[in-house]
Structure 1
Amino acid sequence: MPPTHTLMVADDHPLFREAIGAVIETGLPGCRLLEADSLARALEQAQCRQDIDLLLLDLDLPDAEGLSGLAQLREALPQLAVAIVSAEQDRRIVLDAIGMGAVGYIPKSTPRTTLLNALAHMLEGQVYLPPDIMRRPPASGPASPRQAETAFATHIGSLTDKQREVLALMIRGYSNKLIARELDIAETTVKTHVSAILRKLGVTSRVQAIVAAGAQETYHG
């Protein structure tokens, strides 16, 4: 029987690859896990396969610094879903990763059950953001310019109450179908709201809307 999903973990620590493999084996039965200990090996394997549903990328690989590995993967394989799995918990890095096209960000300290839920979430095509980090204000650094805050506040102020509800669920990674179920409205109505939200926020994608909303939380953190 063929595997339900194929995942890859790119991390240079064998113990972590073994640990996440054990979690996936017991929590997501039927899934196949590929392993790579460097960005180069991850790229080599991913370019030779069409069946990888999700690549879990560490930010601290020996041949990639910070988000440069994500940038290289996005350039070489733009259709491949890549999620960051890292010990780094800086809120700005989370937002930057999502802005660069990552489908999720999982801290290495994430409990097993939460990790499995996050993986299932992303395998369903949704974006996963760690709620504890997203609720956290920036660790350091000067406040953003008031002009930027005021401009975004104006955009947010133009949303209707229902559009705000839809945006809140988008930030939590809900698909249109799940938003429709949560708010008890038609999926076509959700699509209309999403289109209006993107237009009013001056963005072109759901991810950009999530990043923009996250930045607004940063201003008020």
Structure 2
Amino acid sequence: MKFIIADDHPLFRGALRQVLSGQTDSVEIVEAGDFDEVKKIVAEEDEIDLLLLDLAMPGGTGLSGLVTLKALQPALPIIIVSATDDAATVRNALELGASGFISKSAGMETINEAINAVLAGDVWTPDHIDLDHPQDPEIQALIDRLRTLTPQQTRVLTMLAEGLLNKQIAYELEVSEATVKAHVSAVLQKLGVDSRTQAVILLSKIGAETINAG
């Protein structure tokens, strides 16, 4: 099995590596210390069994980082491992495609249970979290809109957020500029905005929501 640990703290990566090493006799574990590194791994590797992702690593932008990675590999199980474990952050992560959420304060036994549950196809959330807690209506509406985007449209949106031009996006996705323009138009329509800038601002709100919560 292949596991990815994305966290900027070597000691915590070591603890997670210890838990993952006990999952099966044949384990490959790849570590990433910043968001650009984990994004490159997810873009290039297609047989990853599980990704453990810290929301607050260098180069990451909170939950918008999760959106970016899920657009690259929609079927990839991702467990968020974060010190920011309030109900809103946990629920937002699950609604944006995370398969589980582990608080950084959790013990090794709990982390092991969570990993086993997600590998078995279940969703894992911390016991103390009330997922029925009222949500910020604006953030909920934004998440609902983001979930209407196709993976390719989400990739286009995240590339817009990186400041790429249509020509550059076309090159990255190996499509025509006309196709990119069509994707951009669809993204703007689904998000209910009039410009690329407004779309990028909306995506950044997901990241800011997480970062501010911490």
Q: TM-score range by the shorter chain?
A: 0.5 to 0.7
Q: Describe how 1:5-20 pairs up with structure 2 within 5 A.
A: 5-20=1-16
Deviations 1:62-120 (A, max 9, x none): 11122111011112221211110001111110000000011010111111111111101
> 1:32 aligned to 25, 28, 35, which one?
28
**Residues 68 and 26 (structure 1 numbering): CA distance in 2 closer, same or farther, change over 3 Å?**
same
- C-alpha contact (below 8 Å) 1:53/1:81 kept by paired residues: yes
State the partner residue of 2:112: 116
Q: Does 1:60 align with 2:56?
A: yes
Which runs of 5 or more structure 2 residues have no equivalent in the other structure? 138-214
In structure 2, which of residues 53, 68, 89 is the aligned counterpart of residue 93 of structure 1? Answer: 89
- Does residue 129 in structure 1 map to residue 125 in structure 2? yes
Alpha-carbon distance in structure 2 between the residues aligned to 1:123 and 1:79: 12
Give the match for residue 84 of structure 1: 80
The equivalent of 2:45 in structure 1 is 49
CA shift for structure 1 position 31? 2.7
Residue 30 of structure 1 deviates from its aligned partner by 3.1
What SS does the aligned partner of 1:131 have?
coil
Instruction: Give the whole-Å Cα distance in 2 for the aligned partners of 1:6 and 1:112.
Output: 20
TM-score scaled to structure 2, two decimals? 0.58
Q: Which has the higher contact order (CA 8 A, sep 6+)?
A: 2
Task: Judge conservation of contact 2:77–2:98 (CA < 8 Å) in 1.
Answer: yes
Distance in 1, Cα, partners of 2:56 & 2:7: 8
> Would the aligned equivalents of 1:36 and 1:42 in 2 still touch at CA under 8 Å?
yes
Answer whether contact 1:10 1:56 (CA < 8 A) is retained.
Answer: yes
For the pair 1:74 / 2:70, whether they are aligned, the reply is yes
Q: CA deviation at 1:27?
A: 5.3
Q: Alignment partner of 1:34: what SS? A: strand
TM-score by length of 1: 0.57
